Structure 1
Amino acid sequence: MKGKTFRIEFLREKDKDTGVMVTRLTDGVGNSIHPYFTQTLVSEDSKILLIESTRSGRWQLFSLEVDTGLMVQLTDDFNIFPHKSCLDPKKLIAYYWDGRILKSVDLQTLKTEEIYVAPSGFHTGILSLSGDGKYLAFVYSEDLEMSTGTGAQYSQMLEHLYRRPTSVIMRVDLKGERIEAVWGEREWISHVNISPVDPDIILFCHEGPWHLVQRMWIVRADTHEIYPILQQKRYLERAGHEYFTRSGKVVTQYSVRETSGSTEWTFFDVIMDTDGTILGKYRYPGPSPTHIQTNPTEDLFVGDGAFPTPEFKDGRDYIGLIRHRDDMCEVRPLCHHGSSWLTQESHPHPIFTPDGKNVIFTSDREGVCNVYMAPVIT
């Protein structure tokens, strides 16, 4: 029920491998996750976290005070899809999809407003909020019936890619309530991110296996100009899980191989300006994490994988801290996450709190998804 409160008793355990004290922030009632790692999810003072949980029977939004354990149910809707929500960290307003309806909810008053309705026959993407809180950007894509799904993650990805669904990138002016189509094409578009420093710059991707697409693109909302960044050699190069840093740089995970039949990839973090100028390229000693994120001062990274040496075989089970030094990635395990990776919801997706002091991640290591926090010890 909207407005219902819960008092969560945090569980703290010392990580058996690193000695770091890890706090379980949710209590295992239903599945609880934090929204997608590219979006704003934590209040500016690092005290309130936006949570998505099924503890009330279906996916709803909750706020969680990380100091007190006070959890408040923010919504009571019927068709909230996990990972698509975001939080205005200053105004404490959450934005989310209830089916095709874009809504907002005030974390303090619980007032809900309807902002926009996507057209029928299309499904909606992750919401991205500009740094000034004035704009939301997202994509809606044609809802196509697929024939190759097995229930496993990504089993329909190739078919979805080759079907080339109509996709339209939208930007909503939350002040003036102006809604505009920024770009559209017959391509599978996702991962829309609006720049935190210039709301006219929107980063998006052509979805699909990373080595089969030109992944990363920029569209300018003021001119509708689009252009690719980090241009790839198909079959030999791949990039993805791109995001903006706080200062407006673009970070992506990149890898390259010598031939299209090779299974030996070399992994890098790449940092770019939005014009495509490469500012840094840093090689991993082994495999890279699946997802990475940057701290507020942009001198430390976190990933849901930690391979400090090529010989370290269990790195997929760890949250890792990453520093860039002399064109290399220095990797150190922070703690064990132990997630199964079997569903999108169980992906750890680690993020930093805005004060840079803690890492938040998701894991289903206890049978259901919970949200965890570990201190950043460098």
Structure 2
Amino acid sequence: MSAPTSRRAVLKGLWGASALLPLGISSAQAQGPAPAAPKPFTGPVPKEWTDPRTGRRIVRISEEAGSGVLYFYRHAFTPEGDVMVIKSPSGITGVRLKDWNRTLLVPGRENDLLFMLRTTREAVYSVTDPGPGEAADRPKTIYAVHVDTKKVRRLARIAAGGVTASNADDSLLLGQVAYGAKPLQPKDPASVAKFGNTEYAALGPDGKPLNFAKAKGVRMLERWSARVPAELFTIDLRSGERKVLYKTEEWIGHAQFSPTDPNLIRFCMEGPWHRVDRIKLVQADGSGLRSAHTRTMNFEIWGHEFFSHDGKWLWYDLQTPRGQVFWIAGLELATGRRIWKRMEANDWGVHFNIAPDNKTFASDGGDVDMVAHAADGKWISLLQAEDIVDADRPSYDDKLITVEKFKSTRLVDLSNHDYRLEPNLRFTPDGKWLVFASNMHGAQHVYAVDATLANS
């Protein structure tokens, strides 16, 4: 049986089965009662307050409702670490971190903020040509705007797809394209404005609407089964050359350069996590393609990968198996050494991130509709590793996995957050704040919470 036919058969036969469910959802949990909806917030959105359950100071950075942050691993800061870029309904906005003062850099919703360059004080954004069809299929022009002078320069133009990163010396842009791929869900402007993404919708075998997480699982499986040509490519900013590094009919996602090695790329194979060999590494010339992790059990899943700030480690969400045992797993890129850091289900997050000290992690939490067994998981939390291996052991065997355990410190109560909006948390360059998006007060805003370890 051909691969496309096999996948269509899988898709046709698995309505309601656990294979449709994303991330940590088990079939038993999925059949349980739907979680209670967040309580509606009334009153003005506070500008600053102390979380009554954690004692942590929180500030609202954004002024406009509907503001948001970049995806959790995309670079958002100037090289000097003094300015961050965010999205706002008015356009691309720079935020001065010392006082949270905001400056509109590029007006207009049509300007899609992508990331900050690593060697200049410029934010990269794209503008898609008008026309019929999906934005991913239309030509785009890539620009950079200086956060101080607001001067704009043109970087490149692509016929289709999107650009997701620049390399450590800003000589290359990295992008991906899928030719003829249908969107996961038709765009709903109201849902995008409220949650930053589309309101996924699908029907179950009984004809009733599925909840958000299960509907997303259905759409993910459909997209994975489509088998359309895809490419991973670079654009040389000196010559303008477009170079294809990898061709496939799999679904490419999350392409990113190392923050320190200008030639190292990691990307993922999107789709149902238990069915894909998720994380790939490749050199910028297309050589050295390899997998970052090997599955050892059924329904073992891993993904939402990110680099440490020093570029020495690749970290990712690992579950062995899905929805049962939770880790942040690390691969030391130079040696192949591995560390798995164990966490409780309630400390799992939609995404994780790492502080500039390359030791402290953070989780943005998730509700029971996203991960099995998590009854109280809606928190922004710090995660610090505790070594649970016998301290008298004379040495580690670096060919084996080193196991550690996380101690969690809760920072923000997100019990009123609707996780259809991903918080996408990140540390500021000084490590003192965690920035995230939330709708805990109804409207979507950008916030920062005091993340200093002195308060732990």
**Alignment RMSD (CA, Å):** 2.6
CA contact (8 A) 1:35 1:86 kept: yes
> Matched residue of 1:242: which SS?
strand
Q: 1:220, 1:355 → 2: CA distance? A: 30
CA contact (8 A) 1:239 1:255 kept: yes
Hey, which of these two has a bigger chunk of helix by percent? Answer: 2
> Matched residue of 2:274: which SS?
helix
CA contact (8 A) 1:229 1:275 kept: no
Q: 1:322, 1:78 → 2: CA distance? A: 36
Residue 292 (structure 2) aligns with: 229
Worse overlay, 178-187 or 13-22? 178-187
Q: 1:44, 1:357 → 2: CA distance? A: 17
2:157 to 117, 134, 144: 117
TM-fit CA distance, 1:133 = 2.9
- Taking a change above 3 Å as real, the CA distance of residues 241 and 276 of structure 1, as seen in their structure-2 partners, is farther
Q: Which amino acid aligns with 2:165?
A: S
The equivalences for 1:1-378 within 5 A come to 11-27=47-63, 29-54=64-89, 56=90, 60-77=91-108, 79-81=110-112, 85-88=114-117, 90-99=119-128, 100-119=140-159, 122-124=160-162, 127-145=164-182, 151-152=199-200, 154=216, 155-233=218-296, 235-248=298-311, 249-257=313-321, 264-274=323-333, 277-287=336-346, 288-305=348-365, 313-315=375-377, 317-326=378-387, 327-337=404-414, 338-342=416-420, 346-378=421-453
> Matched residue of 1:17: which SS?
coil
> Matched residue of 2:345: which SS?
coil
State the TM-score, normalized to the length of structure 2.
0.71
Q: Which amino acid aligns with 2:446?
A: V
TM-fit CA distance, 1:136 = 2.2
Residue 5 (structure 1) aligns with: none
Worse overlay, 71-80 or 44-53? 71-80
Worse overlay, 144-153 or 358-367? 144-153
CA contact (8 A) 2:246 2:286 kept: no
Q: 2:424, 2:335 → 1: CA distance? A: 25
Question: Which of the two has higher C-alpha Rg?
Answer: 2
- Taking a change above 3 Å as real, the CA distance of residues 107 and 148 of structure 1, as seen in their structure-2 partners, is closer
- Taking a change above 3 Å as real, the CA distance of residues 37 and 18 of structure 1, as seen in their structure-2 partners, is same
Hey, which of these two has a bigger chunk of strand by percent? Answer: 1
CA contact (8 A) 2:54 2:412 kept: yes
Q: Which amino acid aligns with 1:289?
A: G
Number of residue pairs the alignment of both structures matches:
349
Q: 1:134, 1:277 → 2: CA distance? A: 27
CA contact (8 A) 1:306 1:319 kept: no
TM-fit CA distance, 1:209 = 1.7
Q: Which consecutive unaligned segments of at least 5 residues does structure 1 have?
A: 1-8, 258-262
Q: Which amino acid aligns with 1:256?
A: T
> Greater relative contact order (Cα 8 A, min sep 6): structure 1 or 2?
2
- Taking a change above 3 Å as real, the CA distance of residues 237 and 20 of structure 1, as seen in their structure-2 partners, is same
Q: 1:23, 1:377 → 2: CA distance? A: 14
